[in-house]
């Protein structure tokens, strides 16, 4: 075995395999496995040869032992049959084993690559692609590629090799007999390719109906309240019945197709077999071939004809596999965002001074989202961003970790332009708490330690959780910090998730903090606790706050009011309430609410 050591799974860059010719690309993708796969094919060839040798031994046995009544070596011949079977079996096994190694090895490498690829693709890519689509490409399409290598290509190879070896052997024994035995091969091949193409389509329709049924069932189950509330059980049953029956009908159609194909080709193949038998028998009677040769022929011809029917199936499946492969390739082609910067990262800690200098950003070409944004923050200060949905608040903070690249102007961190830092370094300095924080379905502890790569002690986790006012809540769960998020029976409320996210950020201990609407979706009860947790978090960090309410922003060192991608007002709370403008309108609103409330209560 030439290749026992597996090539490293991650270092292989699939982007070097991209080619318009799918077969060529597939070949490139097999780098490191080609020898193994070649070995698997070779072993198949040997297995076929040993199988054929078995029939030749049978010929020898008939002609030299039985016909000549010379029983001296009969024991040896008997052992010969077992020995040939062992050789054939051994090579068949090796071939299966090596093909599996190749298929599974290539797939594992591909899976790892795609996983890494997905998390390194840019945000613009993720914005434009549906989760379901990416998921399908990385799972079922990859599996189609695996099947291509593991079953289909090797299966087709086996049929071709069996054909070649047996045809050659028969031809060597008697070329006329060989030619007479393959008359139906071309029509059988054509018919089977045609048939399996058709079956594939019927099968697709059948599967579509299956998903229609699933949808009805799923909607019925999730909507059980509605069904019961309107007493629509009968209606639902009728609806299900209709589609269920449709599925039965499509299944029936599929079955009927099969019911025609197999016996029809059975007849054709059997006629060919019989023709060969009769012709061979005639040749034997006329003495052109020996009886042994006839017997060998009768054995070999089986492997010449019957497997061909399956070639049609394999060819159809392979073409589907290649389509899947093309879909995977489209994803591989995409560029990753580079995490490594142009210059070396600076030594020591970042102070956290941020300057926006005339920054503009276009999301798509010609659709400007930010216009000429300029402002400056000193280390440890906080900036609040207010404005309506779509005004560009989130975009401003998205530029800092370089989730998107600004299109003109400059953003400076500690006097050095952002683009000079590596994204890797920048993102280490930044912590983000979002409106609807995303938690992974891992334990709560793992979610809290998600942002740090080092080992973290239980004490550290607890300190962070306490500061985020979530420690007590976690202790009420049966498994405490080991509770799985999303586990049945334990549900974290929006506020609790928020606080876990805050603990996560506290533990990460970033210099820059981005609070994206971190309190708006939380109920009043926990709002106070979160506010306090956020206060802990903001201490001594440069902070960007996106918020809707005056209370959330009034202590900021700089307040920016954005509208349609421009800064329309700037200053501190005391200045802004003095100015005419949006800010004062919001401020006045609060006072107005109190008066109205008093009026309302009094009027009752």
Partner 1 sequence: MSDNYRFEEEEFNTQFNGKTLIRILQQVKPHWKWVTGFLFMIMSVAMLDSYLTYLGKRIIDEGIVPGDKDALVQIGALYIGIMLVLSAGVFGFIYLAGILGHLVQYDLRKKMFDHLQQLSFSYFDRTPVGWIMSRVTSDSERVAQLVTWGLLDTTWGIVNTITASVFMLLINWKLAIVVLIMIPVLMRTSVWFKKRILVEFRQVRKFNSEITGSYNESITGVRVTKSNRREEANLKEFEVLTDGMYNASYRAAWFSALFLPAVQVISAVAVGCVVYLGGLEAKTGGMTIGGIQAFVAYITFMMWPIQEMARVYAELQRAIASGERIFSLVDAAPDVTDKEGAIDPGTLRGDIEFDDVTFYYEEDKPVLNNFSLKIKGGETIALVGETGGGKSTILNLLCRFYEPKSGQIRINGQDYRDFTLHSIHSRLGIVLQTPHLFSGNIRENIRYGRLGATDTEIEDAAKLAGAHEFIVALEKGYEEEVGEGGNLLSVGQKQLISLARAVLAQPDIFIMDEATSSVDTLTEHLIQKGMEELMSDRTSFVIAHRLSTIKQADRILVIEGGKIIEMGSHAELIHQRGHYYNLYTRQFRKDLEVKYDIFKTSEQKVVGIEKGAAEESLPDAVGL
Residue 351, both tokens = 């102070």
Residue 182 or 514 having the CB closest to partner 1: 514
Segment contacting partner 1 (CB under 8 A): 309-317, 347-355, 533-541, 587-595? 587-595
Please state the closest distance from residue 375 (CB atom) to partner 1, in A.
20
d(CA 312, CA 269): 15
By the rule CB under 8 A, 232 interacts with partner 1: yes
Q: Phi and psi of 195, rounded to 5°?
A: -60, -45
Per-residue interface string for the shown chain with partner 1, residues 110-149, x marking contact by CB under 8 A:
-xx-xxx-xxx--x--xxx--x--xx--xx---x------
Residue 54 or 317 having the CB closest to partner 1: 54
Residue 292 or 312 having the CB closest to partner 1: 292
Residue 190 or 224 having the CB closest to partner 1: 224
Please state the closest distance from residue 152 (CB atom) to partner 1, in A.
14
The correct pick among 37, 61, 195, 303 for binding partner 1 (CB under 8 A) is 61
The correct pick among 3, 19, 38, 97 for binding partner 1 (CB under 8 A) is 97
By the rule CB under 8 A, 256 interacts with partner 1: yes
Please state the closest distance from residue 325 (CB atom) to partner 1, in A.
18
By the rule CB under 8 A, 390 interacts with partner 1: yes
In terms of phi and psi (left: phi > 0; alpha: psi -120 to 50; beta: otherwise), the region of 154 is alpha
Per-residue interface string for the shown chain with partner 1, residues 273-312, x marking contact by CB under 8 A:
-x--xx--xx-xx-----x--xx--xx-------------
3 state SS for 474-537? HHHCCCHHHCECCCCCCCCCHHHHHHHHHHHHHHHCCCEEEEECCCCCCCHHHHHHHHHHHHHH
Residues 203-222 that bind partner 1 (CB under 8 A): 210, 213-222
The correct pick among 1, 23, 190, 259 for binding partner 1 (CB under 8 A) is 259
Residue 120, both tokens = 């390194």
By the rule CB under 8 A, 58 interacts with partner 1: yes
R_g (Cα) of the chain, nearest Å: 36
Q: Is the separation of the CB atoms in 39 and 4 below 8 Å?
A: no
3 state SS for 12-27? CCHHHHCCCCHHHHHH
Strand partners, 559: 384, 571
By the rule CB under 8 A, 577 interacts with partner 1: no
Segment contacting partner 1 (CB under 8 A): 31-39, 172-180, 261-269, 461-469? 261-269
Q: Is the separation of the CB atoms in 398 and 404 below 8 Å?
A: yes
The counts of H helices and E strands in the chain are 23, 10
By the rule CB under 8 A, 490 interacts with partner 1: no
Q: Phi and psi of 545, rounded to 5°?
A: -115, 125
d(CA 542, CA 382): 6
Residues 64-83 that bind partner 1 (CB under 8 A): 65-67, 69, 71, 74-75, 77-79, 81-82
The angle at the Cα of 311, spanning 310 to 313, to the nearest 5 degrees, equals: 65
Segment contacting partner 1 (CB under 8 A): 97-105, 410-418, 534-542, 551-559? 97-105
Please state the closest distance from residue 211 (CB atom) to partner 1, in A.
10
By the rule CB under 8 A, 183 interacts with partner 1: no
Please state the closest distance from residue 85 (CB atom) to partner 1, in A.
3
Please state the closest distance from residue 557 (CB atom) to partner 1, in A.
22
Torsion sign, CA atoms 449, 454, 457, 459: negative
Residue 375, both tokens = 């402002």
By the rule CB under 8 A, 248 interacts with partner 1: yes
């Amino acid at each position: 075995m030439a290749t026992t050591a597996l090539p490293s799974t991650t270092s292989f860059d699939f982007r070097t395999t991209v080619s318009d010719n799918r077969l060529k690309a597939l070949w490139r993708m097999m780098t490191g496995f080609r020898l193994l796969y070649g070995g698997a094919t070779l072993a198949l060839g040997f297995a076929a040869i040993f199988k054929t040798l078995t029939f030749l031994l049978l010929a020898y046995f008939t002609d030299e032992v039985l016909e000549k009544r010379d029983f001296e070596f009969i024991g040896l011949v008997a052992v010969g049959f077992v020995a040939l079977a062992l050789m054939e079996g051994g090579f068949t096994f090796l071939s299966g084993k090596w093909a599996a190694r190749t298929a599974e090895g290539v797939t594992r490498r591909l899976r790892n690559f795609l996983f890494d690829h997905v998390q390194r693709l840019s945000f613009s890519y993720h914005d434009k692609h549906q989760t379901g689509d990416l998921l399908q490409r990385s799972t079922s399409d990859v599996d189609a590629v695996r099947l291509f290598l593991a079953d289909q290509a090797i299966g087709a190879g086996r049929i071709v090799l069996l054909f070649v070896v047996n045809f050659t052997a028969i031809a060597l024994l008697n070329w006329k007999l060989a030619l007479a035995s393959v008359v139906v091969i071309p029509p059988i091949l054509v018919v089977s390719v045609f048939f399996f193409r058709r079956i594939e389509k019927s099968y697709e329709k059948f599967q579509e109906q299956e998903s229609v049924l699933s949808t009805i069932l799923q909607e019925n189950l999730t909507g059980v309240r509605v069904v019961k509330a309107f007493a629509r059980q009968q209606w639902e049953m009728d609806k299900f019945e209709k589609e269920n029956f449709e599925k039965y009908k499509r299944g029936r159609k599929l079955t009927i197709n099969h019911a025609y194909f197999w016996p029809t080709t059975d007849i054709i193949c059997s006629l060919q077999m019989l023709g060969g038998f009769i012709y061979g028998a005639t040749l034997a009677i006329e003495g052109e071939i020996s009886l042994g040769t006839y017997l060998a022929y009768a054995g070999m011809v089986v492997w010449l004809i019957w497997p061909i029917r399956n070639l049609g199936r394999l060819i159809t499946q392979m073409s589907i596999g290649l389509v899947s492969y093309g879909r995977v390739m489209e994803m591989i082609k995409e560029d990753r965002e580079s995490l490594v910067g142009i210059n070396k990262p600076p030594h020591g800690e970042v102070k956290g001074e941020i300057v926006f200098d005339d920054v503009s950003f276009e999301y798509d070409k010609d659709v400007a989202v930010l216009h000429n944004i300029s402002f400056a923050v000193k280390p440890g200060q906080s900036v609040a961003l207010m404005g309506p949905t779509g005004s560009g608040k989130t975009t401003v903070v998205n530029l800092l970790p370089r989730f998107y690249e600004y299109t003109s102007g400059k953003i400076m961190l500690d006097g050095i332009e952002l683009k000079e830092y590596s994204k890797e370094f920048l993102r280490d300095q930044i912590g983000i708490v979002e409106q609807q924080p995303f938690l992974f379905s891992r334990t709560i502890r793992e979610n809290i330690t998600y942002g740090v790569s080092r080992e973290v002690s239980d004490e550290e986790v607890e300190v962070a959780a306490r500061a985020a006012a979530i420690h007590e809540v976690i202790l009420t769960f049966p498994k405490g910090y080991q509770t799985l998020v999303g586990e049945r029976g334990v549900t974290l409320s929006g506020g609790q998730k928020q606080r876990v996210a805050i603990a996560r950020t506290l533990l990460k201990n970033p210099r820059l903090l981005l609070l994206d609407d971190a309190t708006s979706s939380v109920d009043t009860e926990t709002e106070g606790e979160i506010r306090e947790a956020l206060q802990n978090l903001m201490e001594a960090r440069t902070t960007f706050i996106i918020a809707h309410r005056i209370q959330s922003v009034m202590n900021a060192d700089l307040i920016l009011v954005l509208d349609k991608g421009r800064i329309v007002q700037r200053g501190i709370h005391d200045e802004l309430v003095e100015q005419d403008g949006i800010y004062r309108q919001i401020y006045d609103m609060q006072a107005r609410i109190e008066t109205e409330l008093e009026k309302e209560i009094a009027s009752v």
